[in-house]
Amino acid sequence: MIDAADSFAVTYLLSDTCERAGKPLVSASVLGLAGYVGVFCGGAPSYRAVFPELPRNAGSCSESGVLGTAVGVMGTLQAHLALAVLLDWQPAVAGRLLTVDFRTLHLGGFSFAGAAEPLEQPIPFIAPAEVGGTDLVIDLRSTSEAPVSPFPTALRVGVDALESAQLQLPTAPRIVLCCRSGLRAWRAAQALRRQGHANLALLALGE
């Protein structure tokens, strides 16, 4: 599986899928003048083993910018690693991460072949079509950010209110937390998990 979406939600969703299927995942990301590419799953640790937690905040290409040549180089490296997996080159590239700093022209990286999978059950990312009628959907976006939610019965609550435990949530089999990129949904899910909610899912609704 080749992950070129450059989206936290897509990468975690693909990693979970590839981990279950035993298939390798070649994932790359670039922002500004830095990027990385690695081969996960398929006998190597998953993306979650290397990045068990999402960042609280992360820039986007529209906010932080991205250099077209950097994207081209990382895409070529990703294609190269995909070929290495297909051709079964030795030593194997699975379980390795390559980083590139395009400002200093520094190449780095490390092996994560011995990384342990998280002990705690991960909170999954899901697709909109997977939201069920019994789910409690919480749309974390403000009405100015998204005037209309795709889920008519969704609660419109900010992540700060959930983190401060200001609300008593209705009982539901599962709580689905939505935002644009998935980062606020991740923060809210961590807060709800600390408050005793176990059945949670994340949904990134995009722009």
pLDDT at 21: 97
Per-residue pLDDT of 8-39, as tens digits, reads 899 999 999 999 999 999 999 998 899 999 99
- Strand residue runs (E) in the chain: 2-3, 24-31, 34-41, 96-101, 106-111, 136-139, 155-156, 175-179, 200-204
Cis peptide leading into residue 91 (ω within 30°)? yes
Residue 58: pLDDT over 80: no
Does residue 99 contact residue 31 with C-beta atoms inside 8 Å? no
Per-residue pLDDT of 99-108, as tens digits, reads 999 999 999 9
pLDDT at 7: 87
Higher-confidence residue: 121 or 25?
A: 25
Burial class (CB in 10 A: 0-12, 13-18, 19+), 202: buried
User: What is the band of 63 on the pLDDT scale with cuts at 50, 70, 90?
Assistant: low
Does residue 94 contact residue 24 with C-beta atoms inside 8 Å? yes
Q: Which of 5-9, 14-18, 145-149 is least confident? A: 5-9
Domains of the chain in sequence order:
2-111 (3.40.50.720), 128-204 (3.40.250.10)
pTM value > 0.75: yes
Does residue 179 contact residue 162 with C-beta atoms inside 8 Å? no
Phi, psi of 194 (to 5 degrees): -65, -25
Residue 207: pLDDT over 70: no
Residue 44: pLDDT over 70: yes
